[in-house]
Structure formats: C-alpha cells, structure tokens
C-alpha cells in the first residue's frame, strides 16, 4: 500500500475551506465539543479508509452523540493509564517520565487509532496491534516525524488563523495512514 504523500496532507484541510469553519464549534461549551470530537472520529475513519479528498460535512446531532459516546468509552483506558503512570511515579519520577514519553510516542497514537476505528472500550486494550510499530519501526518514526513537520507548518500558518483548524482536523492523518497500511489490513 502506498504511503500518504506529505503534500496531500498539507492540502487536505484546504480542499474544502468551508469545512474548517467547523472548528468554531469549539466555542460552544460541551455540545460543540462533543460534536467536534465526533466529527474528528469520522475524519479519522475516512483517513483509515484512504479518503484524503476533503473535509466531510458536519452532522451536528449525530457527531455530538458519537463524540459523547466515544468520550464515555475512553474513560476506562485513561483511568488505567493514569493509575499506571502514577504508580510508576511513586517508584521513580524519572522512570515515570520515560514511560510516559515512550507510551506517548510508541503506544498511545496507534491504540488511539484502533479505538477511533473500532469504537469499543476493548479496542484501547488490544496491545497486539503494537507489533505493527515494532515490525515497522523505521516507517513509524518517519510517520511521527511527518506529523511533527505538519504540526510546525500549521503552527506557522496559525498566524493567519487557518493553521488552527487545519491542525485540528489533520493532526492524526499520518498515524491513521500508518494504521491503514499496517493494522487495518
């Protein structure tokens, strides 16, 4: 399977500029946040399906419901994660920092893609998918570096305000592409 080209990722949010206005839902407390989260779940699933054409149209009620349900389903994983990191922190703060950094780079992004794809509590605990990282570590590191480069570009574009929604809607594009190529099968 072909790797997502960097230029396609940069152009993606601008292929339908009107779609970037959906970022304004961020200013509507709770309801807007859940709708935006549900919308991002749909965007990530399109990425995993190899659809990089343009931002979809928001479906406020459906996206809000999806966002709320996904929020509830994510709580068990984050509770377990916080207890684990806190427990390690009681033993050694340095070790806790190392584990937090390692999981943030090598585990959480792919587990998050799995969760957003399968939309179940259990999908956050399917650690077997992490073999995709260990078996393709070079490609995974390039994926992370591309994501960092894209973030930097959109941070610079934030001066013109378009970088903020562009980053919001494309921050997972390269991890989703990695998931599409190595996990989804």
Q: Which H, E and C letters describe 10-42, residue by residue?
A: HHHHHCCHHHHHHHHHHHCCCHHHHHHHHHHHH
Of 18-22, 56-60, 159-163, minimum mean pLDDT range:
159-163
Tell me what pLDDT residue 97 has: 95
pTM of the model as a whole: 0.89
Tokens standing for residue 100: 């937090």
Q: How confident is the model at residue 20 (pLDDT cuts 50, 70, 90)?
A: confident
Question: Considering Cα of 62, then 113, then 158, then 150, what sign does the dihedral take?
Answer: negative
Q: How many CB atoms lie within 10 A of CB 105?
A: 13
Contact 117, 48 (CB under 8 A): yes
Q: Is the pLDDT of residue 184 over 90?
A: no
Q: How confident is the model at residue 118 (pLDDT cuts 50, 70, 90)?
A: very high
- For the segment 71-79, the average pLDDT, to the nearest whole number, is 97
- For the segment 102-130, the average pLDDT, to the nearest whole number, is 96
Q: How far is CA 123 from CA 6, 77, 90, 146, 163, in A?
A: 28, 10, 28, 25, 31
Q: Is the pLDDT of residue 140 over 90?
A: yes
- For the segment 60-85, the average pLDDT, to the nearest whole number, is 97
Tell me what pLDDT residue 129 has: 96
Q: Which residue is it, tokens 């929604």?
A: 165
Contact 168, 23 (CB under 8 A): yes
Of the chain, the percentage scoring pLDDT greater than 70 comes to 99
Of 42-46, 75-79, 157-161, minimum mean pLDDT range:
157-161
User: Alpha carbon 19 to chain centroid distance?
Assistant: 18
Instruction: State in Å, rounded, how far the first CA of the chain is from the last one.
Output: 10
């Amino acid at each position: 399977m072909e790797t997502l080209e960097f230029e396609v990722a940069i152009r993606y949010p601008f292929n339908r500029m009107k779609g970037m206005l959906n970022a304004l839902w961020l200013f509507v407390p709770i309801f807007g946040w859940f709708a935006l989260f549900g919308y991002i779940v749909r965007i990530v699933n399109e990425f995993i399906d190899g659809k990089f054409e343009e931002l979809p149209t928001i479906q406020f009620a459906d996206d809000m419901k999806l966002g709320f349900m996904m929020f509830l389903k994510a709580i068990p994983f984050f509770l377990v994660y916080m207890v684990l990191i806190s427990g390690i922190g009681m033993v050694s703060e340095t070790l806790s920092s190392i584990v937090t950094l390692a999981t943030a780079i090598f585990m959480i992004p792919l587990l998050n893609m799995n969760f957003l794809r399968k939309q179940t509590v259990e999908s956050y605990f399917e650690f077997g998918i992490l073999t995709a990282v260990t078996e393709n570590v070079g490609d995974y590191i390039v994926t992370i570096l591309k994501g960092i480069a894209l973030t930097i570009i959109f941070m610079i574009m934030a001066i013109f305000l378009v970088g903020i929604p562009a980053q919001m809607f494309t921050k997972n594009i390269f991890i989703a592409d990695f998931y599409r190529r190595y996990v989804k099968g």
